[in-house]
Homo-oligomer: A and B are copies of this chain.
Amino acid sequence: MTGLTIALDAMGGDFGPQVTVPASVQALSRFTDLNVILVGDQAQIVAQLTRCDAQNHSRLSIVHAPDVIPNDMRPSTALRRSTGTSMRIALDKVAHSEADACVSAGNTGALMALSKHLLKLLPGVDRPALVTALPGANQQRKWLLDLGANVSCDADTLFQFAVMGAVLAQAELGRMPRIGLLNIGEEEIKGNDLVKRCADMLQSCQAVNYTGYIEGDQIYTGQTDVIVCDGFVGNVALKTSEGVASLVIDQVKTHLNQHPIKRWIAKWLFSDLFNQLKQLKPDQYNGASLLGLRGIVVKSHGRADIAAYENAICEAVHEVERQIPTKISDRLEAVLLERH
C-alpha cells in the first residue's frame, strides 16, 4: 500500500456500518492515495460494501472485530475490557504504525482514554484536548477547544491547549492564528482565576499570537481564530450553539410546513439561503480532533450521516498530510525553551 491509511472504527456511532462504510467508499473516491481499514463485524461490513458495490475495492481492507464498546461504558471500564472491540483494534493499528490515523464515532470517553493509553501523549502535553472547527461570519472557520475531554483543568493545561489549537489552525490558515481566551468579559479584571493565570502565560509567550479575552457572542463573529477554554465551558458553548441553530431551523421548517404556497416559493427562491443557514449548524463541521497524542485520532458525531462522517475522514486525511502531531511537538518544545 502506498499513500496514507486510515483505520476506521466501523461499528461506532448510532448507525454503524450503514454510515461508516458508504462514507469510506466516498472518501476513497475523493482521495486517490487513501487506504481505509474498516474494523468491525465482518458480515455487516461486507453487506454494506455489497450495497455500495465496493466489495472488491483495492484500497479497502476489513479487520474483523467481534465486539463494540457500548455508549454508556465508563472510560475506566473501557481501558480494562475493550480487547476485541472495533475501537480498540482501530486505535491499535495507529499505535503499531499500520495506520496513520483513526476515525471513530463511538463513545467519546472511551476513545479519549484508549487513545491516551495506546498512543501516549506527546512530550510537554498533560492532557489531550478535543477541538473542532466551527462556522464563522464571512465564512471564516474558527477552532474551539477543549470540547469536553477535560471537565476541569489548570492554567498550564489551558496554555497547552492554546498552543495545540494554534498549530492546527495555522496548518489550515497558512498564517499565525489569533488566539483568544473565552471569558465572561473583555476587561482584564473579569473572569475566574484559571483564565487570568492562563492569560498571563499567553501574554508573555512569543510562540502564539494571543489577542486577549473574548466573550461568547464573539466566538462566531469576532476576529479570533482559536478560542480556548476548559472542557466544561467548551462543551456547553458548542452544544448551546447547536441548540440555537436547531431552534432557528425548526422554526423555519414549521412555518413553511404550515404554509404550503410559501414553502413552494421558499424552495424555488430561497433554497440557497436555507442551505447557507444549514451550514451554520456547528454539527455540519463534523470531525473533532484529539490533540496532544503521538498519533491522529478524529472523533465523529455519533449521529453523523454519510456526508458528515466523510468530513471526519477528510479531517483525518488533512491532519496526516499536515503532520499535526509532529508540528505540535515542535511548537511545544519551542515554547518550553522560550519559557526556561
Measured CB to CB, the residues of A under 8 A from B are 72, 74, 135-137, 148, 151-152, 182, 184-185, 187, 189, 191-193, 215-221, 229, 231-233, 235-248, 250-252, 255-256, 262, 265-266, 269-270, 272-273, 276-277, 280
Q: Are B236 and A251 in contact (CB under 8 A)?
A: no
**Minimum CB–CB distance for A222 against chain B, Å:** 8
> Chain B residue with minimal CB distance to A108?
B185
Q: Are B273 and A236 in contact (CB under 8 A)?
A: no
Apart from the given pairs A137-B247, A217-B242, A217-B246, 14 other A-B contacts in the complex at a CB distance below 8 Å? A151-B184, A151-B191, A152-B192, A184-B235, A192-B232, A216-B243, A219-B240, A221-B246, A233-B236, A240-B240, A244-B245, A248-B277, A252-B277, A266-B270
- Copy count, this protein chain: 2
From known contacts A251-B277, A262-B269, infer whether A236 and B137 are also in contact, taking CB-CB under 8 Å.
no
Q: Are A235 and B216 in contact (CB under 8 A)?
A: yes
List B contacts of A217 (CB < 8 A): 239-240, 242-243, 246
**Minimum CB–CB distance for A303 against chain B, Å:** 12
From known contacts A184-B236, A233-B232, A262-B269, infer whether A244 and B151 are also in contact, taking CB-CB under 8 Å.
no
